[in-house]
Amino acid sequence: MKKLALGLLLAAPFLADAQSSLKPAIAQKADALKDKVIAWRRDFHEHPELGNQEVRTAGIVAAHLRSLGIEVQEKVGITGVVGILKGGKPGPVVALRADMDGLPVTERGDLPFKSKVVTEFNGQKTGVMHACGHDSHVAILMAVAEILASEKANLAGTVKFIFQPAEEGVYNDKGETILAGAELMVKEGVLENPKVDVIFGLHIASGSDNGVIEYKPGATMAAVDQLDIKVKGKQAHGASPWTGVDPIVISSQIVMGLQTIVSRSVNITEDPAIVTVGAIHSGIRQNIIPESSHMIGTIRTFGVEQRKLVHQRIKDIATNIAESGGGKADVNIGTGYPVTYNNPELVEKMLPTLQGVNGKDRVRTVPAHTGAEDFSFFQQKVPGFFFFLGARPDNKKADEVAGHHTPDFHLDEGHFQVGVKALSSLVVDYMDMALPKKKK
């Protein structure tokens, strides 16, 4: 991936100090759109939709793009919307992405635009909530589209606006992940026709300082995989355990054994890793040793080889422990999102743009996040830069705000225009950098 990205970057002669003359106009227009972005965000927040069900959201996005004279493609990756804006001058194709889906979370609090949507998910009745900030991502990118469309004649290249469904994943009736979101959009050719040269994206961060941009070159967010282990034992009376094979005891030993992967098998001086068992289901009565046990969990890694190592150690530990106890373990690992990898060369080239938008003291490097993002599927194909925009209320400390994916998740809307300026400026600066050098 790194070699491919470097080759693509070197294909265009960059000017390290290039700054587009459109930047002052972008800043002015972004500030003028502040209230409009907040209104869009509140509307989406009040009417959230789960992955691959974002029909209303997609309709609003598509209508907005068309009103700006942007070419629109609908139903890409089920409910995705793609807008193509061809500038007045030739140049590279720059993609921008926003995810649209909400989560099966019942919102608490008393916001006037609180979600009241209720649905059924995984066999249970639940509320639906934008508990990860995707509503703000959509609103921000709609504003970026409006600004860049107004500067169409001055753009030296093409902009592809990708409004993506199902970033949070989609699951079948058995709880298994199915092809969706960025992965499906890539498979359907969203990065082709015209071929994308580079992609940018942002994620709102409820726990970070309001209006501050955070980033990390290289591995930024973890690869995520799903752990599924079924242990087969032999049922027996709880009063005579020697007549059976206890899958609960075996499962307990497997859970403890899995902890040694990170502590003893992974070189944690290079990259962190996580193996978490999130649920164990077994048995039905206090005096019956059950026949089987089922455990599920999550795996987080930050490198290709590390990912292979952790997967193999999980299989070895589970199967060998089960065999030593007289049982059998069936291990399945479902492959999820790859590592979200910010191309270091691209980050270096575009960092001055972010600093110019927000000031050097409000653009900061951060450690890797153990959360995962399917933006990584785009980055597997083209160089990408994914960064974070803080939205923690100024009167709150980091440990006082609710986390993402929780019922009390809340954003401060005061600095959404920073995201609008950042994405718009990245586009025009990248296009200017790709122009041939002028001879002095």
The residues carrying an active-site annotation are: 337, 413
Q: Which DSSP letter does residue 345 get?
A: H
Q: In terms of Cα–Cα distance, which of 224, 183, 233 is closest to 78?
A: 183
DSSP letter at 434 equals: T
Among 2, 422, 17, CA closest to 215: 422
In the numeric block, the tokens 């019956």 are attached to 288
Q: Which of 42, 32, 26 is nearest to 139 (CA)?
A: 42
Do 95 and 426 touch, CB atoms closer than 8 A?
no
Q: Alpha-carbon distance 28 to 180, whole Å?
A: 37
Contact 282, 248 (CB under 8 A): yes
- H or E element in which residue 120 lies: strand 118-121
> What is the torsional sign of CA 177, 367, 343, 214?
positive
Whether 96 and 161 have beta carbons less than 8 Å apart is answered as yes
Q: What is the spatial distance between Cα 385 and Cα 198, in angstroms, rounded to a whole number?
A: 8
Residues belonging to the chain? 440
d(CA 377, CA 364): 25
> Which residue in 244, 227, 247 sits closest to 236, CA to CA?
244
The answer to whether 212 touches 392, Cβ cutoff 8 Å, is: no
Residue by residue, DSSP assigns 267-308 as -TTT---EEEEEEEEE-SSTTEE-SEEEEEEEEEESSHHHHH
8 Å CB contact between 210 and 330? no
Distance linking the first and last C-alpha atoms of the chain: 36
Burial 142-168 (b: 16+ CB within 10 A, else e): bbbbbbbbebeebbbbbbbbbbbbbbb
